[in-house]
Chains A and B, each alone.
Chain A
Amino acid sequence: MADTESKALQVKEKAEVTTPAEQTRPGVAFTPAVDIFETDKEITLLADMPGVKAGDLNIDLHENVLTLDGDVKAPEGATEMDVIREYRTGKYYRQFTLSQVIDQTKINAELKDGVLRLNLPKVEQAMPRKITVKSA
């Protein structure tokens, strides 16, 4: 990780969603960039969703399919006119299939500065357990 800290950030255009799921609302949907990592106890997901407010974010876990759906309201005021437009705004949408069994009651989501942090704890039985062999 240390070497990435001094690296200069490169421009990455937002990737538009190419999902087979049909849109019911007009407007573009983008794929948020995510980090997903797993420890013995839980799976953590970090997603960049700038412009999404906590109230406009829907997280749904249904039959091992995790859906992130964040709505973005255009930040521009009604009287503003475009000078230059380099990025587009729109909702964020992404689905994941989780292989592990998740304890739904302990899911914890936090949205701070446009980054979602989702903790998905594994159910007890899915955790690897060390079995000590007793000598008889």
Chain B
Amino acid sequence: MLWRRTTDWPTRGWTSAFEELERMRRQMDRLTEGITRSLWREPVAGVFPLMNITEDKDNYFVRAELPGLNANDLEISVAGDTLSISGERKVPVEDEKARYHRREREAGRFSRIVSLPAQIDAAKVEARCTDGVLTVTLPKAEAAKPKQIAVKAS
């Protein structure tokens, strides 16, 4: 405490100036943190393709946007509660002499495995690809379905 008082006293003005800077820095940190958090609002796995998974009483639905791919380009398999999707997106070579103005569409291989929250009935899984959106319907296994329990009046 003594040390602090002696150093504090002659340079009082400076210390408060640094304190002010420090306070501003902390506020800036909080601001930038807020921005990055709002950008990463969605829990992104970082693996292509991005998936939306929904459920209803009987099924899980896994959807992914795969423009330009059809059923033949995809390999889908199910085991237990995991679903794996892999394939390759090809962007065919156009006219050799063509001059490109924009080239944003990407080609390449992809593979992704997701675990679903419950066991699924592998035999009844269906996959459909319409308008570049893949929808995999995974019926829940009997054991995983919610059950109504009737309360017996005694």
- Interface residues of chain A, those whose CB is within 8 Å of chain B, are 1, 4-13, 33-40, 44, 46, 48-53, 75-77, 79-88, 111, 113-115
Contacts and interface: CB of A to CB of B under 8 A. Distances in A.
Interface of B: 42-57, 60-61, 63, 65-70, 88-91, 93-95, 97-110, 117, 129, 131-133, 135
Given A9-B48, A86-B43, A44 B88 contact: no
A44 B103 CA distance: 12
A75 B63 contact: yes
Given A1-B107, A33-B106, 17 more contacts: A7-B108, A8-B48, A10-B106, A11-B47, A11-B49, A38-B101, A39-B99, A48-B67, A49-B67, A76-B52, A84-B53, A86-B45, A87-B51, A113-B68, A113-B129, A114-B65, A115-B68
B52 A86 contact: yes
B105 A33 contact: yes
A44 B104 contact: no
B50 A11 contact: yes
Contact of A113 (B48, B57, B132): B132
B110 A8 contact: yes
Contacts of A81: 54-56
B67 A34 contact: no
B109 A37 contact: no
B56 A114 contact: no
A52 B68 CA distance: 12
B100 A35 contact: yes
